[in-house]
Structure 1
Amino acid sequence: MVNIFGSEENVEIFDDTELVTEDNKRILIPVFMQLDIPTSWDKTKVFEAIDEFRLTGTPDMNIRIKAISIDDLNMYAEIAKQVLCNVHELRSEINKLMSTMLSEADIDTKEHAELCVNLNVPDRSENEPNKEEAQDQASVKTNIPVCVTLRQQLNIKKSSNKNPTILSCIKIGNTLVFTDCSNKRLIFCNSDSTDIHHIPLSYRPDYITEININTVAVSCVGKSTILIINISKGSVTSTINTSGYCSGISYNDNNLYVVIDWSIIHVMDLAGKVIRTIPLPSGLIFDFTVDRDSKSNIDKD
């Protein structure tokens, strides 16, 4: 039995009778989702199932998971406005998400259990910028020159029974290295996407960085673990356990820079000793890079 509940204030934000226009169908509303599961369920498996849903999401989905915490299974998501305006559509979409989670997490659906999903829609009016702030933001955006040209498209061939979910990629010499988190492996290919081979891993790889031409470091978010991998030998040479969930990872000047709990960066040596901590300018940071001038380029989803 799935029970979807929320505060009265949140329920009143959207009226079931509100006219859903074509413009409204393209509007996504930020929502915090709290998942309350039975204590007998494997929280790690539930986390991995929902995180897999996040990674494999498509732009046309009505619920898009942006981030999830393994500690309390709190999620930051975006939900299509027309779904939030219709309680029946909302329940249907939540049930689809929960059905996928139950299947992927190997939950016995024949046993009676109550699963609760609490939705919390933030008050956006308090966060709306005033006119001057909006002008400042617009001027900043327009002053950043951006030009992107697609030079080449790679098609990573799929085997008959393994569909890869690629989250991160680096280039080492003429070789491209991808993390395939669905199949717990690294994928290697050359610049024309031929000569494909793999390195199987015990944990699901998420983000990757180059240490040298023969070595990479891979973060495994769900296991709070960093794997140091010799790619020429195809073996894990060492394992680093982190103090929190490690996502984005970069290497510079003999140090690893690792995003911990999506909120801080730990600078550590290759043995895992934390040298210093760098606070991030905002929450929900997933990936970043450190260039040769030690300036951080942060990617916020």
Structure 2
Amino acid sequence: MACNLNISCGSCGYEDILKNAKKWCTICEEGFCGECEKYHKSLKVSRDHKMISIEDYRQIENISVNLNCEIHGKKLDLYCKKHDIAVCVVCIPSEHRSCSSSDVISIDEASKNSKQSSALFDLEGTILTTMDNVKHCIKDREIALTNVDKDEKTIRKTITETRKNLNECLDELERKLMLELKSKHENCKSKIMKILNQLKQMEKEVEKLKEQTLQLKRFASDLQVFLGTRELNQSVIKQVESLKEEIRVCTKSGMEIEIHHVICSLMKEAKQYGEIKVIETMTNLQLKDAKIDQAQIQIHGFSQNIHNVDIQLKQKFDIKGPKEPITGCIILPDDRIIIADNYGRGKLMEYNNNGQHIRDIPVSDKPYSLTLVDTDCIAVTYGGSKYLEIINTKNINSERKKVKCSSICWGISYQDQKLYVVVFRQGIVVMDLNGKTLNTINVLTEDHITTTRDRIYYTNVDRNTVHCCSMTGQEIWVFKDQSISKPRGISVDHNQNVFVVGGWSHNLTLIQHDGKDSQVLLTNRDELKYPVAVHYNKEKKIVCLGYQKGSVALYQMS
């Protein structure tokens, strides 16, 4: 078995010497032993080549990335920005004669930092979203399978109970109806099982694409990642289109029975025992938007027009208490609104979506920032008190989990069983729900934060900047514009567009997911004075704003 893992040194092999390679050159695509590796690095032409271990190469050797032109068979060493395609030297005079010199750049320049490109991030997001969609469809079909079995049991019980009131002359009618039930029940299960099996197979294919993407990202060269990202994108597109087709023709099967209306009173006149009906309706599954419309795929990510967004005032109300800025607000799944009264008497206030005060939730100190942990649970930071709590908003008298922080804690966000907390002079501290520190991301922020599955967003008040980074802290983009002064609260929509409020510019701005464009949605003309808190409810598409004078406003997005 060990021999199968060996790769021969290419340079030694040229001299008919058999020697195992210790390193693999991702540029030359050849193995090198220890001595040949030193010689390879000593040459000026190959000094900057990336070398990886043979074990790491094994992780990507079965991931096929085409590095040669499919038309001419030459190496893909150029990239045409105008046509968004990698080309070889022969392609230029034959296919790209009209392209300017600035349009055609080297493939090394085009693929530079491709591991941090939005195209790769979007590919990973698309795969995760597609997996979620497949799992969602599988769950729906499994529920449908359970329900149709329940229907069958209910009908069988109805038949049995009805049969007790009939005499023996109905035995033949009952037998026929049972046969009909069995036939239609098996047909229903057969249809569901067929689709279920197809979806499970699709899940395996998407899981395979996910694994390939992870291995490509971890071990492949920038060039391989650059080209592999595009090829894997095509595979994902095919899987999603296949999934859409399966769902388009998918129907929701159920069964019911209709007992003949004269059975009980006129048994001798009844022509049949009953009728088994299969009720088929469209499943109307709501799939997550995977954002992979081929017409919208760009070399650096997905285009999206944020200027078509419309915002309408839905409700506005004043809270009870001091007329100071509201530092935190959140809309719960059942439409309750929780507001943090940090500058007042130190409490959480609960309102309904019509602006009616429900109750005050007593807390141990002055709450600053909020995040949703579960349907009825939120996490709350207490600023200078250097701790946070997890609170059940339904049972406010239940025991609360208290987590101490090493310093002042401000903004907080929850994602995938982890809390992301802005801690003074530390940056963003990542911890589990028991308070165990998992990671510390060293960034400059002392205010609000929000997260998605694969990104962290935060504001820097002193520098008037809005930041987007990976879950490990690797910066993706920084947004700064004169329209935003003292950015505070931050939230993100389902397309990873970012809502941010300007405390001194008195406005609400929507920043495009790639940080390259923005739109001011609300200004001081909308009575937006010194806003601090903003929360976007993805399910309801509602923005909740908290600002000076103790005012809260709900806006409907479309």
State the TM-score, normalized to the length of structure 1: 0.47
Higher relative contact order (CA 8 A, sep 6+): 1
- Higher percent of residues as helix: 2
Of the two, which has the highest radius of gyration? 2
- Higher percent of residues as strand: 1
State the TM-score, normalized to the length of structure 2: 0.26
